[in-house]
Amino acid sequence: MSNQKIAENQELDDLKKILSTEEGGRFFWRLFEFCGLYRSPATGERQSTDINIGQNNVALWALGEALEAHPQAIARLIVKNQTMEHKND
């Protein structure tokens, strides 16, 4: 196994451990919200839209990494936060 593959496996293992904790899940949800994962980046102004697109790309990258490492944790996180949003309506 190459050093690069070993490093990639270590990164996924690390992320899986983080996502297995309540604290890790809360952090990722805050990151997704801050980066606008579930909102349109369009603002009507070019500069702020471009910034929002960049933030959204970070959220999409983090989501992809998290889904690769621990898809069940992300599914639980989404369901948990959707349930909490409905309680606040």
Which tens digits make up the pLDDT trace of 35-76? 999 999 999 999 999 999 999 999 999 999 999 999 999 999
What are the C-alpha distances in Å from 73 to residues 48, 53, 67, 80? 32, 26, 8, 10
Q: What is the pLDDT of residue 33?
A: 95
Residue boundaries of the structural domains of the chain: 22-88
pLDDT level of residue 83 (50, 70, 90 thresholds)? confident
pTM of the predicted model as reported, rounded to 2 decimal places = 0.85
* pLDDT at site 82: 85
Handedness of CA 54, 58, 59, 63 (dihedral sign): positive
